[in-house]
Chains A and B, each alone.
Chain A
Amino acid sequence: MSDLKVSIPRPPLTSFTLPLTAVLGAMFGFVAGNVYGQPWIGALGGAVVGAVMAFVAHFMSDRRTVTRWGTIAVLAITGLLAGGLGAAFSGVIIGAVMSWFAYWLDSGAYRKNVPIYYTAGQTLWYNSFLFICGLVFFFLIAPLLPVMWLSFNAEDFFTFTPEMLNFQAEGYSLKHYRNFLGTEEWMTPLKNSLIIAPFATFISVSLGTLAAIGLSQSHVPGRQAIMAILISPMIVPLIISATGMFFFYAPLGNWLEANLNLDQRLVGYMKVILAHAALGVPFVIITVTATLVGFDRSLTRAAANMGADPITTFFRVQMPLILPGVISGGLFAFITSFDEVVVVLFVGSAQQQTLPWQMFTGLREQISPTILAAATILVTVSILLLAAVELLRRRSERLRGLSPG
């Protein structure tokens, strides 16, 4: 399909680009001036800079890259002279935004994504809407960034030091990472998490996959009720699950220790693993049943027709096809266990202290930025997991013959 090319006329300089860029400049100027207690002078200066920017954009529209970098450099140096590195950094941001804004207006790019018949008001609304969405995305992601930055703090504080803000090398260190990786205080919880989560995942995935296959059969008596029971660990608030498990697992553990002569440590792990496995079940059920909806039943019949017994059919035909669903359900179950703190807090004992537990007590009582190092490592891990799930999803869609994403 060939797109209809519409040439957008360049807007007038004096009645459109100039005033708008000046207003933006005035806003930046107001904020910058406020740092020195002179917001209105700052606003005036900003408006002048904005006006100059508009002229530059209008008359040097063919040398966009050069002028933009030039603006950034000029504003950065101004900032550096006026208020050190922090201000220089702000100068870079302001320069980038303003030069982009001036060219964006002047070239008519602001109308690129709206129909040609849109009025000025509609165009304004469309762009404001994009801006609002951008702010929400910023709200979603931005909180994670200071955590990563702060995890390289050289001090034992939860706040930014002046050295950090001025990008001096002595303000930064890897000591919190060393502390995380090198002390029992953090390695034991990590080890516990890595013991508990895989076992819990294994239980919920193996039982969950079987049950999901059962649930996807055409005649299941009481399907709704069964589904409700199996999903319930996800619906019931964690604090209630934790309370219930606390009352139930403590005597159960005592009984196991007394009557089966099991080691206390082993029983402690068993309790937490069983509790986490129960919490992970709904995720496996949901993802695997969703995969099974698109499963072509004639494949199993064909396999049976060619003499495969049900077990062979399951492992050779059905399993490879639903594997992406099983794996992403397993990932959800793993994350549920790996990230869970309320239940383990109530059911586990100090020997089963997991990483989230240690982070929780750390946050509540002694504030050490080692938590932030742990957090940064976890964010990195979750990015990797996210990538894995995305790849699996694409593979699953390709296998099932759906349109590629």
Chain B
Amino acid sequence: MADTTQSGPMLAADGSPLKRSLSRTLRRQKLRALLLIAPLLIFVLVTFIIPIVSMLFRSVENQIVSHTLPQTVEALQEWDPNSGEPPDEAVYQALFFDMFKAAEAKRHTQVGNRLNYEQPGLSSMFRGTGRSLDDMGEEFEDALVDIDPSFKTSEFWFELLSGEGADSFLKDRRAKLAAMAGESMRGDIGFAPSAKALELLPATTEAYTDFAIWTAIVEEDVVAEERPWEAVYAGLGVDLRSAEVVQQIASYDGPGAAALKAAVANIDQLPQESFRDMFAESDEDWLDTEGWRTMALYSPDYTTGYFLNSVDLQKTIEGVEARPETQQIYIKLFIRTLYMSLIITGACILLGYPVAWILANLPLRTANVLMILVLLPFWTSLLVRTSAWKVLLQQQGVINEILVWLGFVDDANRLIIMNNATGTIIAMTHILLPFMILPLYSVMKTIPPTYLRAAKSLGATNWTAFWRVYFPQSVPGIGAGSILVFILSIGYYITPEIVGGTDGVFISNRIAYHISSSLNWGLAAALGTILLLVVLALYWCYDRIVGIDNVKLGG
């Protein structure tokens, strides 16, 4: 035999060493298993895990401010929030150009809404001023056109600012505009800013380049044929306020030199009002430092603000502090959610334990019939059961009618058992009871009845036998059922929404409110993240106690 004479490693039938052959088979088995799992794993990752992760991300994401108002945020870095003074002119000037673009893209109201969550009133300030931006720019436009009619023509601006050598500048503007509008700004725009113009008239070139990109890509028009934005005129006005620019124009001889020189000559006809005053004229509150402090606080790309908000704290310049008493709702809501879930879990244990016991100890045939009584509600639509409780619990409902008919409750003082915590607890106990009974039953089924008899024959009373012998063995079932019921109940939405009124709602109702009504999605995401963490912690416990492989459905 080859095996006996050979001193080397054992060989498989094909002559390769047995060890390698075996590990190859193992590898192939692993690969086959993974290939079978892969489609579903990818499917769940894409359709479920990624959405959840994107929600987690949204709870800290705050790019809307820095994307919509990039230059303002940059200029605001210089401002000292504790100075008690509004920021200086440079910030207002940057705000004008940022807001003008944002208003074109209709994004200024969104950033206003975002800031409004932190300080009520900012939304209307942004919306109102967004309407008067055109007027501010028109003052410059009118003055310039009065000085020289060629400012009115689109060709003038195109020739003045076209050129080459400023490719990186154009790329930068595209990126900023894309971030602001949330859409791609790639593509040919039929315009290239000139490096010379950029040096001479920086604000004008910037505004015109933004206009060119926007006109060509979003509005799909030809840049050279369109009248520029009012912001471009304002840009020229801003540039002409600098003595240095005025000096350079004197020695400038490129396209449009005549018009520029005319503008310099009549510089006193241009509006001299500062942007700060213009903003103040549009809305007094622009001079209020509180709004600017909020903006400075929420200008970074990522913020802990939503999380602080969801635990009743707030971010201020001085640091983290508690919200005013009247605005503290989330901690209370979290505690109520946990507290009511505990009551529901307790009620389910109380009601479920005897039923599970009797199901486990009756003869199989009877138990199967009774099991249907447990499974029928389990299989019935959640909404059916919730509407059933609405029928039963309302003031003119079945329970109240019967009590009034029997004379136990006065017609005028009907019990209020709906639209409050009681209603939620009763209805949810009913809805979640099967989730307690089924795991309890499957654990109790494995406890041999002989143990109880043995305990009794050794002299234990009924109670001792139950408490010292049976109950400890059923504890895993209680644990499994409780965690299952608790997990399900702290995330419940439908039933509290319908029978909970205002006192009986859970944190999930608040999340839904922020998603669909107040549109404060970041806060909804932060609240959801906290809830998710609680559930995952509980799930980890469940895995420890029961193991996910042992989850059973419907007996």
Which residues of A approach B to under 8 Å, CB–CB? 31, 34-37, 39, 86, 122, 125, 129-130, 132-133, 136-137, 139-141, 143-144, 146-147, 150, 158-160, 203, 207-208, 210-211, 213-215, 217-221, 226-233, 235-249, 274-275, 277-278, 281, 283, 285-287, 289-290, 328, 332, 335, 338-339, 341-342, 346, 356, 359-360, 363-364, 371-372, 375, 378-379, 382-383, 385-386, 389-390, 405
Contact = CB atoms under 8 A, between A and B. Distances in A.
B18 interface: no
B388 A238 contact: no
Contact of B354 (A133, A141, A339): A133
Contacts of A39: 407
B382 A339 contact: yes
B26 A144 contact: no
Nearest to B405: A35
Nearest to A346: B515
Most interface-central of A125, A242, A356 (chain B CB within 10 A):
A242
A125 B466 CA distance: 14
B45 interface: yes
B494 A341 contact: yes
B515 A378 contact: no
Nearest to A135: B351
A137 B41 contact: no
A23 to B, nearest CB: 19
Contacts of A249: 51
A31 B407 CA distance: 8
The B interface, classified by DSSP as helix, strand, loop or mixed, is helix
Contact of A211 (B37, B549, B554): B37
A384 B1 CA distance: 67
18 contacts: A35-B405, A35-B407, A133-B358, A137-B374, A139-B351, A140-B377, A207-B39, A217-B32, A232-B44, A237-B490, A238-B491, A239-B508, A277-B47, A356-B381, A356-B382, A363-B386, A375-B388, A386-B375
Which of A160, A230, A275 is packed against the most chain B CB atoms within 10 Å?
A230
B55 to A, nearest CB: 4
Contact of B528 (A35, A229, A243): A243
A35 B54 CA distance: 61
B372 A227 contact: no
A150 B376 contact: no
A159 B351 CA distance: 28
B243 interface: no
A159 B515 contact: no
Given A159-B397, A210-B36, A243-B55, A229 B41 contact: yes
B26 A219 contact: yes
Contacts of A359: 381, 383-384, 387
A338 B374 CA distance: 20
Interface stretch (B6-14, B251-259, B531-539): B531-539
B40 A122 contact: no
B52 A147 contact: no
Interface in B488-538: 488, 490-494, 497-498, 508, 511-512, 515-516, 521, 524-525, 528, 531-532, 535-536
B373 A140 contact: yes
A35 B408 CA distance: 8
A247 B53 CA distance: 10
B380 A378 contact: yes
A336 B354 CA distance: 29
A220 B532 CA distance: 28
B481 to A, nearest CB: 14
A223 to B, nearest CB: 9
Contact of B491 (A217, A237, A246): A237
